[in-house]
Structure 1
Amino acid sequence: MIFADRDEAGRLLAEAVADQVRRRPGPAPLVLALPRGGVPIGVRVAARVGAELDLVIARKIGLPSRPEFGVGAIAEDGPPVFADNYDPAEFSDVVAEERAELSRRVREYRGDRPPPDPTGREVVVVDDGLATGVTARAALRWLRTRNPHRLLFAAPVCSPQARDNLAGDADTVICLSAPPAFRAVGQWYEDFTQLTDADVDRALRGFAST
């Protein structure tokens, strides 16, 4: 399955999420997008299921020699989460750098607003794709400590291994496509334009005004 862009992927994913979200008395479901790429997806999902939309902010921890290769991640004020076979002590400098950038993004995206409260709620974490899964794992583990009623992860396309590895962190994992030839998220989009902080802000403001 090749998606035209994140908007199309979000519309298709929203239907699958709507089939899984359980309506219950109390607060509306909470959709938390992983910025930046997950935000257009989250807009579509939240609109479809009648959810509140916010962000869960995480940063990938890469190898010093290959920063683009994610071996770990941190989310909000949670501890670092690493893939198997990596010693966290070897990445203390990288973790410090990424935590500083995470703090900057929290200020940029959220300002003075407190983080969303998932306590007792149906929570859906969304991204535009799942490659190694370590960033999603960090976000899910941080959210789990905040006592959601039920915790879901959803993405249009996932590597099969990453999808399966999230089974212990999310109550439900929703992937529209899990191709065995997965190499990178972008290969499954015709338009995979990199987004900016301004794009994130516009998307959130646009959703809030609807």
Structure 2
Amino acid sequence: MLTRLEQSDREEAVAALRGFIIERAYKPGDRLPSERELIVSLGMTRTTLRKALDSLEREGVIWRHVGKGTFVASQGGADGVDNLAALAQQMSPVKMIRARLCIEPALAGEAAVNASREAIVRIRSAMERAQAAETWEDYETQDDLFHQAIAEAADNILLLSLFDQLNRVRRAVAIKNVIRASERPARDHNSFAEHAAIVEAIEAHNSKAAYDAMRRHIGSVSARLFGED
């Protein structure tokens, strides 16, 4: 749990980063400066900046592509955030899961076909960071990066754009509906083994196995969180 001071610092960092985007008149699709440049421009530490970036990504204001940078999202303005919130309000957890089942297994299958060695390293690294997470917040951040890395490994910009939109709505739906009973994931959390099966299939370039492993994983997540499969 964040202390009041930590929460205040994060809110100030988010406000500063949001103000930077507005003041510099960045438009949807524009690439933001590197983290090193933003640290200097905003006068904050790398840790604080990354927390602010995480927050704005969860809101759908920005999106990040490993190796390419951070971009203003197509729904990055105030109207876009409102639209995202309105869409999330209309999505039940069951419909959200069904949407994920339509897209993410296919992305995993495509990743098994197209993933480069570097892309596989990023997927495995995100999986390992999720396993090592000490809080649910950290786990959810790394879990987001795991699924994002798979979407990027599919190497299809249209599918990646669809995933980006889906993922922003998914976060909003999860925030409303998921209640955690512990401070961190258990050491034998089911998703760890499920993630490993997905990674193994992608590493083996087995498209069907990757598709099936992702489908089982999303069904398992649904059953754990919402009582649906």
TM bucket normalised to smaller: under 0.3
Relative to total residues, which structure has the larger helix share, 1 or 2?
Answer: 2
TM-score (norm: length of structure 1): 0.27
Relative to total residues, which structure has the larger strand share, 1 or 2?
Answer: 1
